[in-house]
């Protein structure tokens, strides 16, 4: 059954609303952030993997994502995704294959998108912009697998935040050189005409190699930020803060 569409975001983006509607929308956004913060508070350092929801289990990119996520999970990172099917499912599944932690930040859509069955913890978010903040907030690195407009949006927003020093220079890995070649060519075109600086191309690594991708993530996270393995701590969720 299709989920009931929430039209409050649509109304908000149409322009000026009554003071009361804008105030209540702000409260709804705050509640979504609090829900996300409390759900993800104990997930630990994460690597977020972005990619298409449309690529199924028989697609080579699904299998490669699963293998890559398993290798990253072995480093001790939590694998975080958008929580849906396709590449997101493959990433969460890869983490589970090796006993790693697996988290999803699912989006509520007019058509039903259920969290995939390979997440240990998931949170359903109403607004896309809240979801994007959560996927960035808890991550020390990012992997871009083949995807569509949403994946490209997440790639370029992440690079823009790094470029403008709004977040640390976390590693960004773009997987599948053949799929992304026209995108890389367009980046070269922007460099040629001067809208992007040549050094900005160093903000991401494009590769087909899983070992190279994992080493790039390790060197620019565990080594760079001096992350260490901590002994398990028995945190007790505070239910009144919506933790759990």
Q: What pLDDT is attached to residue 226?
A: 82
Q: What pLDDT is attached to residue 29?
A: 95
- Give 23's contacts (C-beta < 8 A, 6+ positions apart): none
Domain boundaries, the chain: 20-225
Cβ-in-10-Å burial (0-12, 13-18, 19+) of 88 comes to buried
**CATH of the domain spanning 20-225, picked from 3.40.50.300, 1.10.3720.10, 3.40.50.450, 3.40.50.200:** 3.40.50.450
Q: What pLDDT is attached to residue 216?
A: 97
Q: Which residues of the chain have pLDDT under 70?
A: 1-6, 8-9, 12, 111-112, 229-244
**pTM of the predicted protein model:** 0.89
Task: Please state the φ and ψ torsions of residue 65, each to the nearest 5 degrees.
Answer: -65, -45
Q: What pLDDT is attached to residue 229?
A: 64
Q: What pLDDT is attached to residue 153?
A: 97
- Quick: pLDDT tens for 182-196: 999 999 999 999 999
Cα-Cα-Cα-Cα dihedral sign, residues 207, 213, 219, 222:
positive
């Amino acid at each position: 059954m299709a989920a009931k569409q929430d039209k409050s975001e649509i109304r908000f983006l149409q322009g000026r609303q009554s003071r009361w509607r804008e105030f209540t929308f702000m409260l709804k956004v705050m509640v979504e952030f609090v829900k996300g913060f409390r759900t993800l508070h104990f997930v630990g350092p994460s690597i977020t993997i972005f990619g298409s929801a449309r690529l199924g289990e028989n697609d080579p990119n699904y299998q490669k994502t699963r293998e890559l996520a398993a290798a990253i999970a072995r480093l001790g990172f939590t694998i975080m995704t958008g929580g849906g099917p396709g590449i997101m499912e493959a990433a969460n599944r890869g983490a589970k294959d090796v006993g790693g932690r697996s988290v999803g930040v699912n989006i509520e859509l007019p058509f039903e998108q259920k969290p995939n069955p390979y997440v240990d913890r998931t949170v359903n978010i109403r607004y896309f912009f809240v979801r994007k903040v959560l996927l960035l907030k808890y991550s020390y690195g990012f992997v871009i697998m083949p995807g569509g407009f949403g994946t490209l949006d997440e790639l370029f927003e992440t690079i823009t935040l790094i470029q403008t020093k709004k977040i640390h220079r976390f590693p960004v890995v773009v997987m599948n050189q053949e799929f992304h070649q026209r995108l890389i060519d367009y980046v070269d075109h922007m460099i040629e005409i001067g809208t992007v600086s040549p050094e900005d191309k160093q903000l991401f690594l494009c590769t087909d190699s899983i070992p190279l991708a994992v080493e790039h993530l390790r060197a620019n996270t565990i080594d760079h930020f001096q992350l260490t393995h901590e002994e398990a701590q028995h945190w007790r969720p505070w239910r009144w803060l919506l933790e759990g």
